[in-house]
Amino acid sequence: MNNWAVVKRLDPHIEEEVTLEMNGVEFTGFANICPYPIEVGRAYPVSIGITILDDVIVQELHEPKKELERINSGFAYNIRGVIQADSLDAGIVLTDEELFRDYAYLIGTYVEMKVDRISIEFLAEREGK
C-alpha cells in the first residue's frame, strides 16, 4: 500500500536510517530504496514493509491494540495490530504479501510480532506534497 509520509529525521551516520511520520505515527526505518534526494519536513510517497531475519513469531493479543514499540535504539520493533490479507494494520499499514498469506487464518485478529526492521521504499512518483 502506498501512502504519504513526512520525513522527521535523517541520521547523519547511517545513510539509510530515516524517521518518518505517517497517520500520526512516528517510526524509524531502513530506507532500502530511495530514487531521489529527500529532505526533512517534506512529504513523500512511500511503501512500508518489514524485515524478519530469523523465525517469524506471531502471538494473538487478547485486546485490540495498534502500536509500534521500538526496541532500544536499533531498527527492531514489536508491532501490534490487526492482520489483513496481505498486511498488518498497526496504525500504519505494513505490507508483505508472502508473510501474511501464511497467517490467513488470523485475518481480523489482533496480533503482536517482532520485526528486525521496518523497510521503507520511497516511490518514484514524487509530487512534492
**Set of cell numbers at residue 71:** 526496541
29 located within any domain: yes
**Domain containing 115: what range?**
2-122
pLDDT score for 129: 46
In a domain, 127, yes or no: no
CA 86 and chain centroid, separation: 13
Q: Is residue 7 part of a domain?
A: yes
Q: Determine, yes or no, domain membership for 39.
A: yes
Inside any domain, residue 85: yes
The tally of domains found in the chain comes to: 1
Residue 128 lies in a domain: no
pLDDT score for 13: 92
* pLDDT averaged over 10-residue windows placed end to end, the chain, 129 residues: 87 93 94 92 93 92 95 92 92 86 91 95 70
The pLDDT assigned to 125 comes to 67
| CA 52, 4, 42, 34 torsion-angle sign | positive
Tell me, yes or no, whether 21 lies in a domain. Answer: yes
Does 129 map to a domain? no
